[in-house]
Amino acid sequence: MSDKVKELISKCLQARDMAYCPYSRFPVGAAILTTGGAIITGCNVENASYGLTVCAERTAIQRAVVEGYRQFTAIAVTCDIKDRFVGPCGACRQVLMEFGSDWIVYLTKPDGSYKETSLLELLPLAFSPAHLAKN
């Protein structure tokens, strides 16, 4: 495992610890790696009006966009489930696709072990911005 992947995994675990999840008690953390090597984190932020809850992956993307980033290479995602790897929800997969299909995705357990996959594996036959350009 490269030092950058170790850092990405570590930061997604740290972000999970910051989650605001008083209703589900299901903390999630995410860390995004930009093409320039910066790492931007996010955690889930719940709301009493459940539909207004924002997932960790989308929080990280929104933070990255605010900071001026638009190109990414990888994301690490974690939650508290110890016995299997858990991927981003469908909405988050679609949001990631907005910024390209070439993401490496590290599905991370609380102990830091991970499974490497890709966004294309998680979201086959995806709708993307390219579809809007084709009339």
Give catalytic residue positions: 57
Q: Is 49 among the annotated ligand-binding positions? A: yes
Q: Is 55 among the annotated ligand-binding positions? A: yes
Q: Is 89 among the annotated ligand-binding positions? A: yes
Of 23, 20, 13, whose CA–CA distance to 82 is shortest?
Answer: 13
Q: How far apart are CA 105 and CA 87, in angstroms?
A: 9
Q: Is 105 among the annotated ligand-binding positions? A: no
Q: Is 98 among the annotated ligand-binding positions? A: no
Q: How far apart are CA 115 and CA 71, in angstroms?
A: 22
CA distances from 87 to 48, 68, 92, 119, 133 (A): 24, 26, 10, 10, 29
Q: Is 79 among the annotated ligand-binding positions? A: no
* Helices 3-16 & 56-66 angle (0-180, nearest 10): 110
Q: Is 135 among the annotated ligand-binding positions? A: no
Q: Which residues are annotated as a binding site?
A: 44-50, 55, 89, 92
Q: Which residues are annotated as a binding site for Zn(2+)?
A: 55, 89, 92
Q: Which residues are annotated as a binding site for substrate?
A: 44-50
